[in-house]
């Protein structure tokens, strides 16, 4: 359903963030995108949803296809209408609106029965029903995370982009939220593209995984395979075997002097 | 900053100088000579324009330090000028001082007023602060109006200033006085900008949180910026008083505070040369508007309707500033830089 | 004059400040642009309204409707011509544009309608001279009308923001441009709508001001007071604008009545500004504003 | 200089943070975190996103005020000092999301960081000739040393706003060094860099450490790098210290593994 084909993203026409990223999200599947800070995961999501423009970013090469339509450098408002909902990093609720109002904004593009749509979301997140009239900014972290996911769901997407839904949440809550994500995937037939740092948790949910580093995809494979891959550990903890890679301590002074003379 | 082809600096002393080559020195001297012979080419009308340009350059340089360099937007520069003019007039009329010491004292007194309105910068940032300076303008004028000794709506008069037997009572004489002050203030501004306080100002403008954590006492330097800005304004106000020998609040309308900011925008924020360019450009333009556009506009307006001649000034001013903001937000100075970089490589413009 | 009378007048004047502050706050909330030209816009809309009505070949309600259309057009034009090209620029650019607009619009009004020192009559509803007597208390008709209209408009605004879809979109935009956009709220359309709404409200405020005192080229100065009111109320708070407006109106009238005689008048013009300076120092985000957390 | 010389004071405490509690925005960012940085060491602070690493740095340099706890630098309490005072005392830092003075050139950025070291005041600056001039030249020399160390020569007079990301990171390190810090706080100095740039940056950090004996607190996500250059590591999770020790110990620590990789689920 979604195919990213070798895209390059630049910010302000100079800063190259993504250098040839390709990935695919098949219908109704969960794909996880992992990697360190600054690897380009969030940028990839923004490139899909059309949010790059708000940060002076642009897809300069390659294409993004969604159900056969090219959507790179599209307008975020339009992309939502096509059925792609992005849940941004950091639980960005509309703080001074109530929970229900937040959800209603999420359904801005959807015509039809808002009540039914709300009920559907409350079905997935019963906890939100209990706090529907409280101000979003005063909700707990877990409720806020549920709120932003639910808000994305209000747009009735066929593909949801989730940016670090587990960030800063206690393990139990992460488990709960991941459980809900699973049921959304199965119940609503929504494909998920999940950006996560919490690799094992992500891989236990996803069917397929990609690992990014420095704006490139460096590793990909079926979740089961990745879970047992020693390289994953290295990416996250640098737990490589001794001697496999040169230590940063051993980088010689002349390495840069050499360049200076040449 | 670059140098012409084939010129290099061998010492930090040279590298840090403003005028670095013989050509620079030659041009600078030529410019000053040209400036001081200007009165012999200019008609009276343009001499008056030049004098006002000089006064506004002083005020705009001060604002440039506060807004262009330190990033604190001020909408009260004309108010501070009024404070300078009236305090100077009061010192001459009631304090028994002659014009020159009064001018200095008034400038620093105005600086003190600037400090008062700078205090909120401890807690208030950005446009909130701009609105406080806007309030400063009106509050200062209100206070001036309500101090009986300042004669309220009548205003205060002084005799034209003089040094020895030279009296600065003609446009011609005053031109030299003003340009002398402008040159001194420009050099001082340039010095402030390239040394410790100037770097602190820019640091505050570009990233105040980082500045604080890199050892700059942000509040202190904001206050210094307000103080310096107001001193310049006070000086400009005092010069205005000396020039028109009259202090009156109608000389300092709120819109002048706005236009003063406009000079910076048109010239380019954060540049001394740009500030001067902005003032010259807008004032000359406004004179041309007054001379040519206004009669035309009056002619075009249906008879008995409006006062096109009066409105065209602010209208075109506003329009120019907006056009600059949209199409060349870096101001005239940027254009000049582009021009210069082209010149610098000549004839090797590859 | 007794104090109650002064307070009532203060409330009525204050309501107008609140109304102009509302226009100001709407633009600020949605676009984060501080509209220094607010006062000038009030002046321009009401002069335009006067011009439309003076055409004089149609009934008064048609004239008003037409003026409303003109005002909305003005708002859209400001947004399209001056704000839109600056999308993506630092915030300072559009704010500077509004500062320049302040002068531009004034110049325009002087060019078209200026006659030095002149004040035009403006009384399409025929209420300027009227007054209501309730016991000892005298209430002037335009002021009373203004008060009622203000309350109604604030009420409508509240309903609009609570129930209308566009209102909800505006609130979302006000909270966070990025989030609003990612949820499918047409942010650029919201900007345009907000400017149109602001100029429309400006027209209403200007209409009442004109009915009170006639038209003159100093009307824009009320914008300065309205900015003060908006800041006192907290810039992003709509109820704050109303409350601060009423408060400033009353305080200003009281100051005018009880302090002015000692200092020779004129205090009313700067009193809101003085209140603002004091309040802003102790509460940098106004009385009802929301404090933001700074991060590195 | 050999590292052996530095080991002499390795048990002297450079900075001591005691039981720090920090709450903001309704979130408890730090809960009773204590931290010791020893004289002349490179201490790394690690932990998943949102663990409170940057908060800790912000507390040390005075940007945040902890609700509870005290911080001592060289045995003097700095908990309630203004950030610029703390900087004057010899603590400087880099920022996670670049916080350079974008309008100034590289040179000016570095000179601006020498603010606290320059003695002359505004008036002398305005007159310039004489005092200010000589002092400027003297400090310019120091700054040039840093420029030389970090290979910043080619961009000396370029406005930093126009530099590529990696170079800006370097300028930021240079700015922090220009303050002549005795304690250097580095907040993700290598975020978003490629391996080449990371190697260079690691070299610079080690050079500074070796040549000037600067104590360094390093927050960094790249574990391989942290394991290589840090002498000791403190791990945070959910605002609490979960582990402390040598890189080898941290590698084996169960809690650290769990914090990073998540608890492996059955099945």
pLDDT digits over B247-290, tens only?
Answer: 998 899 999 999 999 999 999 888 899 999 999 999 999 999 88
Residue A243 and residue A175 share a domain = no
The top-scoring range by mean pLDDT among A12-16, B42-46, B109-113, D169-173 is B109-113
State whether A108 and C290 contact (CB < 8 Å): no
Residue A242 and residue A213 share a domain = no
Residue D149 and residue D253 share a domain = no
Domain limit, last residue, from D145, D179, D213:
D179
Interface of D to A at Cβ within 8 Å reads: 26-27, 48-50, 151, 164-165, 188, 191-195, 198-200, 202-203, 206-207, 221-229, 238, 251, 256-257, 260-265
How many Cβ atoms from other residues are within 10 Å of residue A255's Cβ?
12
Flag whether pLDDT at B306 surpasses 70: no
- In chain A, alpha helices (H): 41-49, 76-82, 99-106, 114-124, 126-130, 141-153, 171-187, 199-205, 223-227, 230-237, 254-261
Chains C and D touch (3+ CB pairs under 8 A): yes
State whether C296 and D99 contact (CB < 8 Å): yes
Query: Is residue B245 within 8 Å of B305, Cβ to Cβ?
Result: no
Beta bridge partners, A209, equal A32, A221
Distance CA(A16)–CA(A55), nearest Å, equals: 13
Closest CA to C173 of C194, C149, C197, C147: C194
Set of chain A residues whose Cβ sits within 8 Å of the Cβ of D228: 247-249
Identify the band that residue A90 occupies on the pLDDT scale cut at 50, 70 and 90. confident
Identify the band that residue A134 occupies on the pLDDT scale cut at 50, 70 and 90. confident
In a domain, D150, yes or no: yes
Residue D194 and residue D152 share a domain = no
Interface of A to C at Cβ within 8 Å reads: 49, 51, 54, 56, 76-77, 80-81, 85-86, 88, 92, 94-97, 101, 104-106, 108-109, 151-152, 155
Residue D140 and residue D111 share a domain = yes
CATH number of the domain enclosing A6: 3.40.50.300
Q: What is the pLDDT averaged over residues D64-83?
A: 91
Say which residue the tokens 């408009």 belong to.
C153
> Integer distance in angstroms from the first to the last C-alpha of chain C?
56
Residue D254 and residue D207 share a domain = yes
Set of chain A residues whose Cβ sits within 8 Å of the Cβ of C292: none
Residue A253 and residue A198 share a domain = no
In a domain, D96, yes or no: no
Distance CA(D34)–CA(B3), nearest Å, equals: 54
State whether B215 and D122 contact (CB < 8 Å): no
- Quick check: C114 contacting B, CB < 8 Å? yes
In a domain, D107, yes or no: yes
Domain count, chain D: 2
In the three-class reduction of DSSP (H, G, I as helix; E, B as strand; rest coil), residue C166 is classed as helix
Write out residues 28-87 of B within 8 Å (CB-CB) of C. Answer: 73, 75
In a domain, D36, yes or no: yes
Residue A99 and residue A58 share a domain = yes
Residue D213 and residue D86 share a domain = yes
Distance CA(C12)–CA(C33), nearest Å, equals: 28
Residue A21 and residue A133 share a domain = yes
Residue D83 and residue D167 share a domain = no
Distance in Å, alpha carbon of B272 to nearest chain D alpha carbon = 14
Residue D255 and residue D146 share a domain = no
Say which residue the tokens 């309040």 belong to.
C279
Q: What is the pLDDT averaged over residues B88-116?
A: 94
pLDDT in the model for residue A102: 93
Distance in Å, alpha carbon of D175 to nearest chain C alpha carbon = 16
Distance CA(B225)–CA(B229), nearest Å, equals: 6
Q: Which of B12, B210, B225 to mutate to test the interface with D (most CBs of D within 10 A)?
A: B210
Using DSSP bridges, classify how beta strands D215-219 and D42-46 pair: parallel, antiparallel or unpaired: parallel
Using DSSP bridges, classify how beta strands D183-187 and D91-93 pair: parallel, antiparallel or unpaired: parallel
Residue A34 and residue A60 share a domain = yes
In the three-class reduction of DSSP (H, G, I as helix; E, B as strand; rest coil), residue C70 is classed as helix
Q: How many CB pairs under 8 A join A and D?
A: 95
Distance CA(B286)–CA(D256), nearest Å, equals: 70
Closest partner residue to B124 (CB to CB) among C104, C266, C280 is C280
- Quick check: D141 contacting B, CB < 8 Å? yes
**Token output for B51:** 């004098």
Flag whether pLDDT at D65 surpasses 60: yes
Identify the band that residue A260 occupies on the pLDDT scale cut at 50, 70 and 90. very low
Distance CA(B155)–CA(B178), nearest Å, equals: 23
In the three-class reduction of DSSP (H, G, I as helix; E, B as strand; rest coil), residue D222 is classed as coil
Which tops the pLDDT comparison, B20 or A88? A88
Closest partner residue to A37 (CB to CB) among D165, D198, D221 is D221
Q: What DSSP state is assigned to residue C215?
A: B
Closest partner residue to C293 (CB to CB) among D24, D54, D96 is D24
> Integer distance in angstroms from the first to the last C-alpha of chain B?
18
Identify the band that residue B346 occupies on the pLDDT scale cut at 50, 70 and 90. low
pLDDT in the model for residue B108: 96
Distance in Å, alpha carbon of D131 to nearest chain B alpha carbon = 11
State whether C276 and B131 contact (CB < 8 Å): yes
Tell me which chains share at least 3 CB pairs under 8 Å with chain D: A, B, C
Q: How many residues does chain A have?
A: 262
pLDDT in the model for residue D12: 83
Domains in chain C, please, with CATH? Answer: 3-282 (1.10.3470)
Identify the band that residue B25 occupies on the pLDDT scale cut at 50, 70 and 90. confident
Closest CA to C24 of C267, C232, C276: C232
Domain count, chain A: 2
Residue D75 and residue D22 share a domain = yes
Q: Which domain holds residue D45?
A: 1-90+181-267
Closest partner residue to D50 (CB to CB) among A14, A168, A245 is A168
**Token output for A94:** 């509309």
Residue D138 and residue D53 share a domain = no
Distance CA(C128)–CA(C208), nearest Å, equals: 9
Identify the band that residue D6 occupies on the pLDDT scale cut at 50, 70 and 90. very low
| Sign of CA pseudo-dihedral A100, A102, A105, A111 | negative
In a domain, D95, yes or no: no
Query: Is residue D215 within 8 Å of D12, Cβ to Cβ?
Result: no
Q: Which of B262, B311, B319 to mutate to test the interface with C (most CBs of C within 10 A)?
A: B311
The chain C residue lying nearest D99, using CA atoms, is C296
Distance CA(C182)–CA(C166), nearest Å, equals: 16
Among the listed ranges A89-103, A184-198, A248-262, D7-21, which one has the minimum average pLDDT value? A248-262
Q: What is the pLDDT averaged over residues A245-258?
A: 57
Query: Chain-wide mean pLDDT for chain D?
Result: 85
Set of chain D residues whose Cβ sits within 8 Å of the Cβ of B213: 61-63, 83-84, 86-87, 92-93
Flag whether pLDDT at A243 surpasses 80: no
Residue D170 and residue D153 share a domain = yes
Tell me which chains share at least 3 CB pairs under 8 Å with chain A: C, D
The chain C residue lying nearest B209, using CA atoms, is C296
**How many secondary structure helices (H) and strands (E) does chain C include?**
12, 2
Flag whether pLDDT at B203 surpasses 80: yes
In the three-class reduction of DSSP (H, G, I as helix; E, B as strand; rest coil), residue A87 is classed as strand
State whether C296 and D63 contact (CB < 8 Å): yes
Per-residue pLDDT reduced to its tens digit, D158-179: 888 878 778 888 999 999 999 9
Closest partner residue to A201 (CB to CB) among D225, D229, D262 is D262
Query: Is residue C110 within 8 Å of B310, Cβ to Cβ?
Result: yes
- Quick check: A256 contacting D, CB < 8 Å? yes
Distance CA(A181)–CA(A162), nearest Å, equals: 10
pLDDT in the model for residue C127: 80
pTM: 0.88
The chain D residue lying nearest C292, using CA atoms, is D25
Which tops the pLDDT comparison, B343 or B182? B182
Residue D114 and residue D48 share a domain = no
State whether C179 and A92 contact (CB < 8 Å): yes
pLDDT in the model for residue A5: 92
Residue D115 and residue D220 share a domain = no
Distance CA(A233)–CA(A229), nearest Å, equals: 8
What are phi and psi for residue C186, nearest 5 degrees?
A: -75, 90
pLDDT digit of tens for each residue in chain C (296 aa)? Answer: 588 889 999 999 999 999 999 999 999 988 889 999 999 999 999 999 988 988 877 888 888 999 999 999 999 999 999 999 888 788 888 999 999 999 999 999 988 887 755 677 887 887 877 788 888 888 888 889 999 999 999 999 989 988 889 999 998 998 888 899 999 999 999 999 999 999 999 999 999 999 988 888 888 999 999 999 999 998 888 899 999 999 999 999 998 888 888 877 778 888 999 999 999 888 888 888 765 544 43
State whether B306 and C96 contact (CB < 8 Å): no
Domain limit, last residue, from D179, D211, D230:
D179
In a domain, D97, yes or no: no
In the three-class reduction of DSSP (H, G, I as helix; E, B as strand; rest coil), residue D242 is classed as strand
- Note the maximum CA span of chain D: 77
State whether D63 and C293 contact (CB < 8 Å): no
Closest CA to B310 of C37, C49, C117, C38: C117
Chains D and B touch (3+ CB pairs under 8 A): yes
Identify the band that residue A234 occupies on the pLDDT scale cut at 50, 70 and 90. low
Set of chain C residues whose Cβ sits within 8 Å of the Cβ of B142: 266-267, 269-270
State whether A238 and D226 contact (CB < 8 Å): yes
Residue A250 and residue A210 share a domain = no
ipTM: 0.85
Ramachandran area for residue D185 (φ above 0: left; ψ -120 to 50: alpha; else beta): beta
Query: Is residue C71 within 8 Å of C49, Cβ to Cβ?
Result: yes
pLDDT in the model for residue D11: 67
Residue A249 and residue A212 share a domain = no
Set of chain C residues whose Cβ sits within 8 Å of the Cβ of D95: 296
Domain limit, last residue, from D179, D207, D239:
D179
Which tops the pLDDT comparison, A105 or C263? A105
Residue A257 and residue A146 share a domain = no
State whether D96 and C296 contact (CB < 8 Å): yes
Strands across the sheet containing D183-187: D91-93, D183-187, D215-219, D42-46, D232-237, D240-245
Q: Which domain holds residue A261?
A: 229-262
Flag whether pLDDT at A162 surpasses 90: yes
State whether C165 and A94 contact (CB < 8 Å): no
């Amino acid at each position: 359903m979604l195919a990213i084909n070798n895209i390059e993203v630049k910010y302000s026409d100079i800063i190259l963030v993504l250098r040839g990223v390709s990935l695919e999200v098949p219908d109704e599947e969960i794909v996880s995108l992992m990697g360190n800070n600054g690897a380009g995961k969030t940028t990839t999501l923004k490139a899909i949803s059309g949010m790059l423009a708000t940060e002076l970013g642009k897809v300069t090469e390659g294409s993004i296809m969604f159900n056969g339509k090219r959507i790179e450098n599209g307008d975020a408002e339009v992309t939502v209408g096509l059925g792609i909902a992005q849940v941004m990093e950091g639980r960005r609720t509309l703080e001074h609106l109530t929970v229900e109002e937040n959800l209603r904004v999420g359904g801005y593009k959807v015509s039809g029965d808002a009540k039914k749509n709300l009920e559907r979301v409350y079905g997935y997140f019963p906890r939100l029903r209990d706090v529907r009239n409280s101000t979003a900014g005063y909700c707990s972290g877990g409720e806020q995370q549920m709120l932003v996911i639910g808000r994305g769901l209000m747009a009735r997407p066929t593909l949801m982009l989730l940016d670090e839904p587990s960030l800063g949440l206690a393990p139990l809550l992460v488990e709960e939220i991941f459980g809900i994500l699973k049921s959304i995937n199965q119940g609503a037939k929504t494909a998920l593209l999940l950006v996560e740092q919490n690799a094992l948790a992500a891989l236990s949910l996803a069917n397929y995984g990609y690992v990014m580093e420095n704006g490139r995809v460096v590793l990909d494979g079926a979740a089961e395979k990745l879970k047992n891959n020693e390289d994953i550990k290295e990416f996250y903890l640098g737990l490589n075997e001794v001697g496999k890679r040169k230590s940063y301590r051993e980088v010689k002074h002349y390495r840069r002097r050499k360049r200076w003379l040449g | 900053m670059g140098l012409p082809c084939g010129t290099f600096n061998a010492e930090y002393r040279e590298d840090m100088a403003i005028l670095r080559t013989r050509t620079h020195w030659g041009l600078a001297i030529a410019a000053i000579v040209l400036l001081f012979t200007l009165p012999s080419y200019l008609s009276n009308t343009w001499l008056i324009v030049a004098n006002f340009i000089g006064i506004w350059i002083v005020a705009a340089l001060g604002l440039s330090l506060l807004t262009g360099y330190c990033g604190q937007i001020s909408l009260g520069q004309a108010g501070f000028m009024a404070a300078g003019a009236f305090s100077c007039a009061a010192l001459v009329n009631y304090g028994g001082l002659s014009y020159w010491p009064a001018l200095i004292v008034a400038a620093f007194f105005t600086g003190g007023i600037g400090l008062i309105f700078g205090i909120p910068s401890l807690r208030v940032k950005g446009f909130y602060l701009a609105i406080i300076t806007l309030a400063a303008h009106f509050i200062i004028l209100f206070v001036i109006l309500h101090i009986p000794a300042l004669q309220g709506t009548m205003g205060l008069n002084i005799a034209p200033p003089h040094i020895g037997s030279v009296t600065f009572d003609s446009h011609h004489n005053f031109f030299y006085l003003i340009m002398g002050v402008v040159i001194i203030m420009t050099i001082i501004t340039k010095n402030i900008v390239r040394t410790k306080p100037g770097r602190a100002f820019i640091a505050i403008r570009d990233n105040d949180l980082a500045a604080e954590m890199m050892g700059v006492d942000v509040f202190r330097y904001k206050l210094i910026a307000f103080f310096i800005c107001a001193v310049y304004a006070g000086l400009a106000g005092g010069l205005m008083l000396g020039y028109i020998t009259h202090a009156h609040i109608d000389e300092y309308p709120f819109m002048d505070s706005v236009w003063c900011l406009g000079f910076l925008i048109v010239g380019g924020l954060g540049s001394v040369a740009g500030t001067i360019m902005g003032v010259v450009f807008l004032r000359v333009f406004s004179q041309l508007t007054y001379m040519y556009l206004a009669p035309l506009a009056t002619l075009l307006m249906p008879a008995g309707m409006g006062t096109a001649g009066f409105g065209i000034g602010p209208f075109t001013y506003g329009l120019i500033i907006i056009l600059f903001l949209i199409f060349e937000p870096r101001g005239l100075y940027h254009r000049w830089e582009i021009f210069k970089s082209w010149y610098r490589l000549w004839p090797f413009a590859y | 004059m007794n104090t109650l009378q002064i307070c009532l007048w203060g409330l009525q004047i204050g309501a107008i400040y609140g109304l102009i502050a509302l226009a100001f706050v709407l633009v600020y909330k949605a676009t984060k642009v501080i509209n220094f030209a607010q006062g000038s816009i009030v002046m321009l809309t009401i002069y335009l309204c006067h011009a439309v009505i003076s055409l004089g070949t149609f009934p008064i309600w048609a004239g008003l409707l037409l003026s409303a259309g003109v005002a909305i057009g003005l708002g859209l034009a400001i947004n399209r011509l001056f704000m839109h090209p600056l999308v993506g620029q630092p915030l300072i650019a559009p704010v500077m544009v509004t500062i320049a607009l302040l002068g531009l619009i004034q110049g325009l009004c002087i060019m078209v309608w200026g006659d030095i020192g002149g004040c035009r009559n403006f009384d399409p509803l025929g209420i300027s001279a009227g007054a209501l007597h309730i016991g000892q208390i005298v209430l002037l008709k335009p002021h009373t009308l203004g008060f009622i209209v203000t309350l109604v408009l604030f009420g409508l605004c509240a309903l609009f923001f609570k129930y209308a879809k566009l209102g909800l979109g505006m609130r979302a935009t006000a909270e966070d441009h990025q989030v609003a956009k990612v949820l499918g709220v047409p942010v650029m359309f919201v900007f345009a709508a907000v400017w149109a709404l602001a100029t429309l409200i400006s027209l209403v405020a200007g209409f009442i001001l004109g009915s009170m005192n006639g038209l003159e080229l100093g009307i824009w100065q009320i914008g300065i007071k309205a900015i003060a009111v908006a800041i006192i109320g907290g810039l992003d708070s709509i109820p704050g604008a109303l409350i601060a407006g009423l408060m400033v109106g009353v305080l200003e009238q009281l100051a005018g009545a009880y302090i002015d005689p000692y200092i020779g008048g004129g205090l009313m013009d700067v009193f809101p500004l003085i209140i603002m300076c004091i309040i802003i120092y102790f509460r940098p985000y106004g009385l009802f504003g929301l404090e933001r957390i700074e991060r590195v | 200089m050999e590292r052996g010389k530095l080991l002499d004071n390795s048990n002297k405490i450079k900075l001591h943070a005691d039981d720090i509690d920090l709450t903001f925005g309704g979130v408890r960012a730090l809960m009773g975190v204590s931290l010791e940085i020893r004289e002349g060491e490179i201490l790394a602070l690690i932990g998943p996103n949102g663990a409170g690493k940057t908060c800790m740095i912000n507390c040390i340099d005075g940007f945040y005020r902890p609700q509870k706890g005290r911080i001592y630098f060289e045995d003097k309490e700095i908990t309630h000092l203004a950030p610029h005072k703390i900087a004057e005392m010899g603590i400087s830092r880099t920022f996670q999301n670049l916080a350079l003075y974008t309008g100034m050139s590289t040179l000016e950025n570095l000179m601006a960081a020498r603010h606290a070291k320059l003695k002359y005041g505004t008036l002398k600056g305005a007159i310039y000739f004489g005092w200010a001039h000589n002092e400027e030249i003297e400090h310019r020399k120091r700054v040039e040393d840093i420029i030389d160390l970090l290979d910043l020569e080619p961009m000396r007079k370029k406005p930093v706003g126009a530099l590529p990301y990696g170079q800006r990171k370097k300028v930021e390190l240079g700015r922090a060094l220009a303050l002549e810090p005795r304690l250097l706080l580095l907040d993700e100095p290598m975020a978003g860099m490629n391996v080449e740039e990371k190697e260079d940056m690691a070299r610079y950090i080690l050079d500074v450490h070796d040549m000037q004996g600067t104590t360094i607190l390093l927050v960094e996500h790249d574990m391989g790098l942290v394991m290589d250059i840090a002498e000791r590591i403190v791990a945070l999770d959910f605002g609490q210290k979960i582990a402390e020790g040598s890189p080898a110990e941290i590698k084996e620590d169960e809690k650290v593994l769990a914090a990073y990789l998540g608890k492996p689920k059955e099945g």
